[in-house]
Protein backbone atom coordinates (compact mmCIF):
# COMPACT_ATOMS: atom_id res chain seq x y z
CA UNK A 1 0.00 0.00 0.00
CA UNK A 2 1.49 3.42 -0.93
CA UNK A 3 2.32 5.55 2.06
CA UNK A 4 -0.28 8.27 1.37
CA UNK A 5 -3.06 5.67 1.08
CA UNK A 6 -2.01 4.30 4.45
CA UNK A 7 -2.21 7.77 5.97
CA UNK A 8 -5.63 8.34 4.42
CA UNK A 9 -6.87 5.07 5.94
CA UNK A 10 -5.56 6.03 9.35
CA UNK A 11 -7.19 9.44 9.14
CA UNK A 12 -10.48 7.87 8.11
CA UNK A 13 -10.39 5.36 10.93
CA UNK A 14 -9.60 7.95 13.56
CA UNK A 15 -12.39 10.16 12.22
CA UNK A 16 -14.82 7.26 12.72
CA UNK A 17 -13.54 6.69 16.24
CA UNK A 18 -13.79 10.40 17.10
CA UNK A 19 -17.26 10.61 15.60
CA UNK A 20 -18.62 7.66 17.53
CA UNK A 21 -17.04 8.94 20.73
CA UNK A 22 -18.76 12.29 20.23
CA UNK A 23 -22.09 10.65 19.47
CA UNK A 24 -22.02 8.53 22.59
CA UNK A 25 -21.13 11.60 24.66
CA UNK A 26 -24.16 13.36 23.18
CA UNK A 27 -26.36 10.42 24.07
CA UNK A 28 -25.26 10.76 27.70
CA UNK A 29 -26.47 14.30 27.86
CA UNK A 30 -29.53 14.52 25.73
CA UNK A 31 -32.04 13.43 28.35
CA UNK A 32 -31.25 16.86 29.71
CA UNK A 33 -32.00 19.28 26.97
CA UNK A 34 -33.47 22.22 28.84
CA UNK A 35 -33.05 21.54 32.52
CA UNK A 36 -35.05 23.85 34.74
CA UNK A 37 -32.50 23.94 37.54
CA UNK A 38 -32.46 26.98 39.80
CA UNK A 39 -30.69 25.73 42.92
CA UNK A 40 -28.77 22.63 41.84
CA UNK A 41 -25.69 23.05 39.60
CA UNK A 42 -26.77 23.24 35.95
CA UNK A 43 -23.98 20.87 34.91
CA UNK A 44 -24.99 18.24 37.49
CA UNK A 45 -24.49 14.76 35.99
CA UNK A 46 -27.75 12.91 35.46
CA UNK A 47 -26.71 10.18 37.91
CA UNK A 48 -26.02 12.68 40.70
CA UNK A 49 -29.29 14.51 40.04
CA UNK A 50 -31.14 11.24 40.31
CA UNK A 51 -29.38 10.43 43.58
CA UNK A 52 -30.33 13.84 45.02
CA UNK A 53 -33.95 13.26 43.99
CA UNK A 54 -33.97 9.80 45.58
CA UNK A 55 -32.52 11.33 48.77
CA UNK A 56 -35.17 14.04 48.90
CA UNK A 57 -37.98 11.56 48.29
CA UNK A 58 -36.63 9.27 51.02
CA UNK A 59 -36.09 12.15 53.46
CA UNK A 60 -39.71 13.22 53.07
CA UNK A 61 -41.14 9.71 52.74
CA UNK A 62 -42.80 10.62 49.44
CA UNK A 63 -42.69 9.67 45.76
CA UNK A 64 -41.46 11.80 42.89
CA UNK A 65 -45.00 13.01 42.21
CA UNK A 66 -45.15 14.79 45.56
CA UNK A 67 -43.11 17.58 43.95
CA UNK A 68 -43.38 16.81 40.25
CA UNK A 69 -46.49 17.32 38.11
CA UNK A 70 -47.68 15.35 35.13
CA UNK A 71 -47.77 16.97 31.71
CA UNK A 72 -50.80 17.04 29.41
CA UNK A 73 -49.66 13.74 27.91
CA UNK A 74 -50.05 12.09 31.32
CA UNK A 75 -46.30 11.51 31.67
CA UNK A 76 -44.19 13.01 34.44
CA UNK A 77 -42.96 16.45 33.43
CA UNK A 78 -39.95 16.85 35.70
CA UNK A 79 -39.07 20.30 34.36
CA UNK A 80 -42.52 21.70 35.17
CA UNK A 81 -42.90 23.99 38.18
CA UNK A 82 -46.67 23.46 38.44
CA UNK A 83 -46.59 21.98 41.96
CA UNK A 84 -45.91 24.42 44.82
CA UNK A 85 -44.14 21.61 46.69
CA UNK A 86 -41.36 21.77 44.12
CA UNK A 87 -40.68 25.42 44.78
CA UNK A 88 -40.92 24.81 48.50
CA UNK A 89 -38.22 22.17 48.07
CA UNK A 90 -36.02 24.79 46.37
CA UNK A 91 -36.56 27.14 49.31
CA UNK A 92 -35.73 24.32 51.70
CA UNK A 93 -32.53 23.58 49.79
CA UNK A 94 -31.55 27.26 49.99
CA UNK A 95 -32.44 27.38 53.68
CA UNK A 96 -30.34 24.31 54.44
CA UNK A 97 -27.46 25.74 52.37
CA UNK A 98 -27.64 29.01 54.28
CA UNK A 99 -27.61 27.29 57.66
CA UNK A 100 -24.71 25.11 56.56
CA UNK A 101 -22.76 28.07 55.15
CA UNK A 102 -23.22 30.21 58.19
CA UNK A 103 -23.06 27.68 60.98
CA UNK A 104 -21.20 24.71 59.48
CA UNK A 105 -18.62 26.80 57.61
CA UNK A 106 -20.19 25.84 54.28
CA UNK A 107 -18.13 23.11 52.79
CA UNK A 108 -18.87 22.58 49.13
CA UNK A 109 -18.00 19.71 46.86
CA UNK A 110 -16.42 20.09 43.42
CA UNK A 111 -19.82 20.69 41.81
CA UNK A 112 -20.62 23.50 44.21
CA UNK A 113 -23.14 21.39 46.07
CA UNK A 114 -23.29 22.03 49.76
CA UNK A 115 -22.26 19.05 51.86
CA UNK A 116 -23.00 20.56 55.23
CA UNK A 117 -24.41 18.83 58.22
CA UNK A 118 -28.05 19.92 57.84
CA UNK A 119 -29.87 17.80 55.30
CA UNK A 120 -33.52 17.31 54.47
CA UNK A 121 -33.62 14.16 56.55
CA UNK A 122 -32.21 15.98 59.59
CA UNK A 123 -35.60 17.61 60.04
CA UNK A 124 -37.96 15.60 57.90
CA UNK A 125 -37.15 12.09 59.13
CA UNK A 126 -39.28 10.49 56.45
CA UNK A 127 -42.25 12.86 56.63
CA UNK A 128 -43.25 15.96 54.62
CA UNK A 129 -44.38 17.46 57.92
CA UNK A 130 -41.50 17.20 60.37
CA UNK A 131 -43.49 18.29 63.41
CA UNK A 132 -45.92 15.41 63.05
CA UNK A 133 -43.64 12.87 64.61
CA UNK A 134 -45.00 9.38 64.15
CA UNK A 135 -46.36 7.83 67.31
CA UNK A 136 -46.46 11.15 69.16
CA UNK A 137 -49.85 12.82 69.58
CA UNK A 138 -48.58 16.37 69.69
CA UNK A 139 -51.07 18.88 70.99
CA UNK A 140 -53.47 16.31 72.35
CA UNK A 141 -54.43 15.72 75.93
CA UNK A 142 -51.27 14.30 77.39
CA UNK A 143 -53.24 12.68 80.21
CA UNK A 144 -55.81 10.96 78.02
CA UNK A 145 -55.80 7.23 77.47
CA UNK A 146 -52.78 6.03 75.59
CA UNK A 147 -50.87 9.24 76.18
CA UNK A 148 -48.58 10.48 78.85
CA UNK A 149 -48.40 7.08 80.46
CA UNK A 150 -46.22 6.95 83.47
CA UNK A 151 -42.71 5.87 82.76
CA UNK A 152 -41.95 2.41 84.16
CA UNK A 153 -40.22 2.52 87.53
CA UNK A 154 -36.43 2.56 87.31
CA UNK A 155 -34.76 -0.85 87.66
CA UNK A 156 -33.74 -1.65 91.23
CA UNK A 157 -30.31 -0.40 92.12
CA UNK A 158 -27.66 -3.11 92.09
CA UNK A 159 -26.75 -4.34 95.56
CA UNK A 160 -24.06 -2.23 97.10
CA UNK A 161 -20.61 -3.59 97.71
CA UNK A 162 -19.84 -4.92 94.22
Binding site for ligand HEC (CB under 6 A): 32, 35-40, 49, 53-54, 56-57, 60, 62, 64, 66-68, 78-79, 85-86, 88-90, 92-93, 96, 118, 120, 122-124, 128-131
Cβ at position 131, least distance to ligand HEC in Å: 6
Instruction: Name the residue nearer to ligand HEC (CB basis): 135 or 158.
Output: 135
Cβ at position 57, least distance to ligand HEC in Å: 4
Instruction: Name the residue nearer to ligand HEC (CB basis): 22 or 133.
Output: 133
Distance CA 92, CA 122 (A): 12
Instruction: Name the residue nearer to ligand HEC (CB basis): 6 or 46.
Output: 46
Q: CB neighbours of 157 closer than 8 A, spacing ≥ 6?
A: none
Contacts of 50-56 spanning 24+ positions with Cβ under 8 A: 52/113, 55/119, 55/120, 55/121, 56/89, 56/120
- Which whole-number Å values give the CA distances from 128 to 39, 66, 97, in the listed order? 20, 9, 19
Based on its alpha-carbon atoms, the radius of gyration of the chain, rounded to whole angstroms, reads 27
Cβ at position 137, least distance to ligand HEC in Å: 15
Instruction: Name the residue nearer to ligand HEC (CB basis): 10 or 76.
Output: 76
Amino acid sequence: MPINKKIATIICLSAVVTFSALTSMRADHDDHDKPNLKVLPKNIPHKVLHQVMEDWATALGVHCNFCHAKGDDGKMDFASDAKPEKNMARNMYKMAAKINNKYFEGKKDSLGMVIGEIKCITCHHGSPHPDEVKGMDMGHDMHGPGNGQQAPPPPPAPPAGN
